[in-house]
Structure 1
Amino acid sequence: MKSLKFYGKQNLSFEESKKPFVKKKDDVIIKVKAVGICGSDISRYAKLGPYVEGTIFGHEFSGEVVDVGSEVTNVKVGDRVAGCPTFYCGTCESCRNGDLARCEKLHVMGAYHPGAYAEYAKLPAENVIPIPDSVDFDTAAMVEPSSVVVHGFYRTRMQPGAEVAVMGCGNIGLLAIQWAKIFGAKKVFAIDIDDEKLAIAKEVGADVLVNSIEKPAHEQILEHTNGSGVDVAVESAGSPITSAQVLALSKKGGEVVFMGIPYADINIQRFYFEKIVRNELTVLGSWNAISASFPGKEWSTSVHYMSTGQINVKPIISHRLQLREGPETFDKIINKDGFFGKVLFYPELG
């Protein structure tokens, strides 16, 4: 089968691999219909390299079941599904407490297990989520990032009528805008330095667009909130700069949720750090997308709101490509050669 294998930093190869087969009683073999590039894939490609040299990369995908183990009951051959790519140990203290996202050995497919940049992928049955006919394969390929976002919102105290600021309008930020509305936000501020991204933010439901190049984001937010700030600020850019700036967006007693991963040291100026103390902020980290009972309500909720159209991923998708275009596409992204939103590959096209 065709696949993308990850050999080292900036070393991704399009090549033939062995097709997975049923080995365990709970195995499910899935023909991959659509698979997306995650921001974490870009960081690992550019800076960190693979966990295991030569592993098939990728983890955000949807597809059709083509074979199942003898004890699989939740899906059958022909079913349309999304894949939860996350593996947990089940034995560490966090797992025993039901805090699966905090598992000591948490990892996703494409790390130690073959990933989804391939014509076929294999997962245990509990990692396979059926999707209704109303959710197309492109949308289903984004159930995983959607679940990452709602996992973070579930951690907040957010109430209907809240004002929310989303800092960073990449794929996660654009989903966060939509989830903020689902959670009842009366106003969502989208913050970025790229007007093209801000235009997409408007299309998916942002009420106020803030270009932070023109004036510091917190100054613009204060102008729009009568000097108060927002109830919840979401950091979704994963930038060392915005990871500090986001602390100045929330009102006194407000919340800050970190969903982005900066992959660099964070130097926080006194002005921003003091906001935590003086405003008595609640600062929340959010990691991955799973909870008990596995894979968690994040997944069923994502599928539901995708089926109603309240989570709309179509404006977020910028490229639909053949798998063989993977290596050059990763290079273009890290070299900033053009605008890239969510990139989807279609392995069956070659």
Structure 2
Amino acid sequence: MRTLNLYGKQDIRFEDTEKPSIEKADDVIVKVKAVGICGSDISRYNKLGPYVEGMTFGHEFSGEIAEVGPEVTNVKPGDRVAGCPTLYCGECESCRKGELSQCEQLTVIGARHPGAYAEFVKLPAENIVPIPDSVDFDTAAMVEPSAVVAHGFYRTSMQPGAEVAVMGCGNIGLLAVQWAKIFGAKKVYAIDIDDEKLQIASEIGADELINPKEKSAYDQIMEITGGRGVDVAIESAGSPITSAQVFALAKKGGEVVFMGIPYADINIERFYFEKIVRNELTVLGSWNAISAPFPGKEWDTTVHYMSTGQINVKPIISHRLQLRQGPETFEKIINRDESFGKVLFYPEIG
């Protein structure tokens, strides 16, 4: 079968790999219809991280059940599905407490287990997420990143009527704009230095667009809110700069949620750090998308709101490509040869 396999730093190859087979009674093999590039894929491709040389990459996917093990009863061949790509041990202290996203052995397919940049991918039956006919395969390929964002919002104490600032309008930020509305935000501030991304944020529900190139996001939000700030500030850019600046956006007693992953050290100016102390902020980290009972409410809720159209990923998708275009696409992304939103590959085409 056709796959994209990671061999080393900036070394991903389009190859033929043996198709997975049923080995365990709860195995499920999915024919991949659409698979997306995650920001973590870009980081691992560019700098490496936990991976096995030659491993089939990728973890955000949708598809159709091709084959199931003898003990699988929740799905059958032909069913339309997405997949939770996360594997947990079930034995560590965090797992025993039901805090699965904090599992000591947490891993995702595409690192130490074969991933979804492939014509077929294998997962345990409990990782399979059925999708209704009203959710197309392109949309379902983004169930996983959407569940990641939902996980972060579930960690907050946000109430209907809250005001939310989303710092960074990449794929995660654009999903966060929509989840903020679902969680009851009366006003969402979208912040980015890219006007094209801000325009997409406006299309999917952002109420205020803030470009901090001319005036800081802090100054603009303080002007709009009369010096109050927002109830919840989301850091979704994963930038060392915004990871410091986000503390100034929340009101006294507000919450700051980190969904982005900065791949560099963060130096926090005194002005921003003091906001944590003086405003008595609650600072939340959010990791992965699973909870108990596995895979968690993040997944069912995502599928529901995708089926109603309240999670709309179509404006976020910028490229629809054949899997064989993977190597050149990854190179273009890290070289910033063009603007990329969510990139989807179609393994069965071409």
Deviations 1:230-268 (A, max 9, x none): 000000000000000000000000000000000111100
More deviation, 43-52/142-151: 43-52
Tell me the distance in 2 between the aligned counterparts of 1:145 and 1:172: 7
Matching of residue 327 in structure 1 with residue 337 in structure 2: no
- Separation (CA, whole Å) in 2 of partners of 1:142 and 1:244: 28
- 1:192 maps to 2:192: yes
Contact 1:8/1:50 (CA < 8 Å) preserved in 2?
A: no
Count residues with an aligned counterpart: 350
In the TM superposition, what is the alpha-carbon distance from 1:50 to its structure 2 partner? 5.4
Q: Aligned partners of 2:10, 2:49: CA distance in 1, in Å?
A: 8
**Alignment pair present for 1:258 and 2:248:** no
Give TM-score, length-normalised by structure 2.
Answer: 0.99
Match of 1:231 in 2: 231
What is the Cα-based RMSD across aligned positions, in Å?
0.6
Query: SS state of the match for residue 277, structure 1?
Result: helix
Is 1:10 the counterpart of 2:10? The answer is yes
How far did 1:40 drift? 0.5
- Report matched runs for 1:167-182 at 5 Å: 167-182=167-182
- The equivalent of 2:292 in structure 1 is 292
DSSP 3-state at the match of 1:348 = coil
TM-score (norm 1): 0.99
Equivalent-residue separation in structure 2 for 1:186 and 1:216 (angstroms): 23
Shift, 1:47, TM fit:
1.2
Any gaps of 5 or more consecutive residues in structure 1?
none
Residue 269 of structure 2 corresponds to residue 269 of structure 1: yes
1:278 aligned residue = 278
Aligned counterpart, 2:122: 122
Which structure 2 residue ranges, 5 or more long, are not aligned? none
In the alignment, structure 1 residue 135 sits paired with structure 2 residue 135: yes
Give runs of ≥4 in structure 1 deviating > 3 Å: none
- 2:278 maps to a residue whose letter is R
Deviation at 1:66, TM superposition (A): 0.6
- 1:103 corresponds to: 103
2: CA distance, partners of 1:49 / 1:42: 11
Amino acid in the other structure paired with 2:273: F
Report the Cα distance in structure 2 between the residues aligned to 1:231 and 1:147, rounded to whole angstroms.
22
**Matched residues in 1 for 2:49 and 2:189: separation?**
35
* Contact 2:317/2:343, CA 8 A, preserved across alignment: yes
Cα distance in 2 for partners of 1:331, 1:82 equals: 27
3-state secondary structure, aligned to 2:3: strand
CA-to-partner distance for each residue in 1:117-152, whole Å, 9 max, x for gaps? Answer: 000000000000110000000000000000000000
SS in 1 for 2:344: strand
* Distance across 2 between alignment mates of 1:47 and 1:239: 16
1:6-55 deviation per Cα after TM superposition (whole angstroms, max 9, x unaligned): 00110000010000011110000000000000000001111125511000
**Structure 2: how far apart are the matches of 1:241 and 1:51?**
28
Contact conserved, 1:6 with 1:50, CA < 8 A, in 2? Answer: no
- Which residue number in structure 1 is paired with residue 29 of structure 2? 29
- Per the alignment, residue 19 of structure 1 pairs with 19
Mapped pair 1:92 → 2:128: no
Q: Deviations over 1:191-211 (max 9, x none)?
A: 000001111111111000000
| Secondary structure at 2:134 match in 1 | coil
